[in-house]
Chains A and B, each alone.
Chain A
Amino acid sequence: MSAPEATVPTVPSHEDFDRASDRRMIERARRHGSSWFGIRVLLLLIGPGVITFLGENDAPSMLSYAATGAQFGIGFFLPFIVFTFMVGFVVQEMVARIGIATGQGHAELIFARFGGFWGGFAMLDLCAGNFLTLVTEFIGIRAGLGFFGVPPLLAVGGSILVIGLAISTSRYRTWERLVMALALGNAIFLPIAFLAHPDAPEIGHALLTWSPLPGGLKPDTIALMIADIGATVTPWMLFFQQGAVADKGLVPRDLLGARIDTLVGTILATVFAIAAVVATAPLFAHGISAGNFQAAQFAQALQPVIGRLGASLFAIGIFEAGLVAAITISTSSAYTFGEVTRTAHSLNAPLRDGRFFYAVLLVSACVAGGLTLIPGAPLEDIIILVNVVATLAMPPALLFLIVIANDSELMGPYRNRRLANTAGIGVTALLVASGLAFAASVLFPHLFG
């Protein structure tokens, strides 16, 4: 392993001291050696993976799962969703490993290793995808709270205030715990699923036997399948988790913990996504067409089937999903901006030092939220398409990821092994094939009956 080109001797800054004191806490817990402290170490290490996956169970994703359940029931899509999350785990494990081995963000490494030309393209994809997704998060926030009669301005303004409060502590650890508590609110889809009186043996059967797709492969079905893939793997997740792992100050010793963190996030997000499908499956059973439902309409349509409580919980779930994702996506944009411009990019940075970082975070949220307040803008029509766009932009991002994960200079002993490479290349090929299938279904719909 050769040394980097230049390492500038640096005086530790505020963010480094914060990271170091967090590290002491982990090391103190580790020294105890008892199983109780083992759990404590794990709890201290858990964060980036869980937040990434629960952040990705965002408003468009939960609506995509809801549309899936309402249009197709559970037979085909439950195992399909489990499969997409397994794909997500393969990708995010690589991301966490790179963050741990290098201590740097994803954008930083792409720019350093591939130069500004390719880095610029990667940033273009990310910024466009992040902004579109951020807009849909605010649509979700607006629609979710709109179910209770909250005015859009209050819903959007209040959410931006929460984002501002989360970063006002200038402490990664506090931010992480706050966002993780909010993200665990995604569990609200579990009681909604129970209110839909699910048939447990049927769910078990659906998970163990992959039933054929009801109605066959049609253009709308392909779009929904791709939206479901986009609900688990998107470019912002790469940039966010690596940035968060570096910001948290994880080191190679923490690799197992980071893997467990990613796995826990994957499992929680899978369970909550399945709950969303199960919750809306009664609409499919009752033959209610839900193809063009939006957030608030879903809650209204569910009310006769699962009651006012269930519908209200669904609306809260969409609001929560939108809020958490708005926080994580705007943070991913801010990490990327700081990494590319080589300005402070840490949630540990004091407001004065990280003014550009925090400004990007808040301004991107304000602009996206502001767009959703324009009267008559047809933004809700794009809510499912946003996940499709995310899936289509993923293959180039995955290529950078795989190349970096194989870079022995950067990764040392933590570089990809054959299994990780096979899985990574397989995922990339799958996403390219899905994109081509989507293109064929749009350009030649007659081929799909």
Chain B
Amino acid sequence: MATDNTFMQFDPTVPLDAAFYASRRTMFWRRRPVSPGLQMLLWSLRLYVVLMLAVVVIELARVLK
């Protein structure tokens, strides 16, 4: 992660800054473990979205009528 010091410790020139941006852009983060609680929450909200979309379709059919 970038810190304030990245720019403060040196008197950076543009190429140095560009190298910093390149490394930040290509940084790859490993997958985090998803706890059972979080997984349940994700599934609940997924179900919520599907149900709500069904409600929207019903409302849309009414509007179009």
Contact = CB atoms under 8 A, between A and B. Distances in A.
Interface of A: 1, 4-13, 15-17, 19-21, 23-24, 27, 101-104, 109, 112-115, 118, 121, 125, 223, 246, 249, 251-253, 378, 381-382, 385, 388-389, 392-393, 395-396, 399, 403, 407, 409-412, 432, 435, 438-439, 442-443
A409 B45 contact: no
Contact of A10 (B7, B17, B22): B22
Interface residues of B, number: 45
A113 B31 contact: yes
Contact of A114 (B18, B27, B32): B32
Given A381-B63, A385-B59, A251 B2 contact: yes
Interface string B31-65: 11010001001100110110111011011101110
A388 to B, nearest CB: 6
B49 A443 contact: no
Helix, strand, loop or mixed for chain A's interface? helix
B33 to A, nearest CB: 10
A101 B27 CA distance: 12
Given A112-B31, A385-B56, A439-B51, 11 more contacts: A4-B29, A5-B28, A103-B24, A104-B24, A109-B29, A115-B31, A223-B59, A246-B25, A251-B7, A392-B56, A432-B45
Interface of B: 1-4, 6-8, 14-32, 34, 38, 41-42, 45-46, 48-49, 51-53, 55-56, 58-60, 62-64
Contact of B38 (A17, A112, A115, A403): A403
Top 10 nearest A-B pairs (CB, nearest first) are A20-B17, A5-B30, A12-B18, A103-B24, A392-B52, A12-B22, A20-B18, A16-B21, A396-B45, A16-B18
Nearest to B45: A396
Given A125-B49, A382-B60, A439-B52, A4 B27 contact: yes
A19 B17 contact: yes
A438 B55 contact: yes
B14 A20 contact: yes
A17 B18 contact: yes
B64 A378 contact: yes
B40 to A, nearest CB: 11
